[in-house]
Amino acid sequence: MRIELNDDQKTVIKIIREAKSMPFLELTSLSAIHDNRLTEILHELEKKDLIVLINPENIFEELVVAKDKAFNLF
């Protein structure tokens, strides 16, 4: 099944899959997307089963991990 992504979601996926995983604050420093918007995007991507969020309740502890599906998107 084809997964549709908007430009922001594509930007985030590109950054994550380059490193495979990273802390949330690293992702926000690289993506130039505001923290609140980035949190929304990450939840959207998690719903699409493209990433896993670990400790999403605390941005200092939060880790973002790319799932296998994220590597075969575009």
Partner 1 sequence: MDSQYYYSLISFGVGSAAGFQGVYDRYSTNSIQAIYTPPGAFYLFSRGLIPALVFVICYNTQLFSNHFLLYSLVCGSSVELILRTKIFIKETSQNGTAEELLRGPFDLLQWYQNLLLQSVAEYLARIRKIFMEKNLPKSIAFEPLIINALNNLDAWPPSDSINQLKTDVQRIEGEYHQEIGGQTNGTDIDSKYKYKLGYLILNKKGPKAFKTLLTLTT
Where do contacts with partner 1 occur on this chain (CB under 8 A)?
Answer: 19-23, 25-26, 28-30, 32, 34, 52, 54, 59-61, 63-68, 71
Nearer to partner 1 by Cβ, of 3 and 59: the residue is 59
DSSP codes joined into one string, 2-52: PPP--HHHHHHHHHHHHHSEEEHHHHHHHH---HHHHHHHHHHHHHTTSEE
Tokens coding 72 = 């075969």
Nearer to partner 1 by Cβ, of 17 and 44: the residue is 17
To partner 1, the closest distance from the beta carbon of 44 in angstroms equals 20
